[in-house]
Amino acid sequence: MRERIARNLATLKRAITAQSPVSLLPVEGGWSAVLRLPATRDDDAWVLALLERGVLVQPGYFFDVPGDGHMVLSLLPRPDQFEEGVERLSALVAEDCGLTPAR
């Protein structure tokens, strides 16, 4: 399980570049990652938009993360599923921000 978590976290870090409107909060251990998304939607709208695209996340306020735009992702899915979810999330963020998604 540690290898899976490490692999998924590495996938997430590769997807979030310096030019990305998404940022990864420092990971302190465990099996979740917290992302800061652009202010193009509120937390609930992000959750619903991602759900419509088959990506399951939880809003940061479920974990008392202060401020809007924080989403919590599980690092436990199979790596192929996780990578697909990250690609879908990246595409939605790019669409919202008028950017071309990285491939």
Indicate the pairing of strand 23-24 with strand 32-36.
Answer: antiparallel
pLDDT per residue as tens digits for the range 13-48 = 999 987 789 999 998 888 999 999 999 999 999 999
Give the pLDDT band (50/70/90) at residue 66: confident
3-class DSSP string for 50-68: HHHCCCCCEEHHHHCCCCC
In CATH terms, 2-94 corresponds, of 3.30.160.250, 3.40.920.10, 1.10.3210.10, 3.90.1150.10, to: 3.90.1150.10
Give the pLDDT band (50/70/90) at residue 99: confident
The pLDDT assigned to 18 comes to: 73
Contact 9, 37 (CB under 8 A): no
pTM for this structure?
0.88
CA-wise closest residue to 69 among 42, 49, 90, 30: 42
- Dihedral of CA 31/45/35/52: which sign? positive
46-60 average pLDDT score: 96
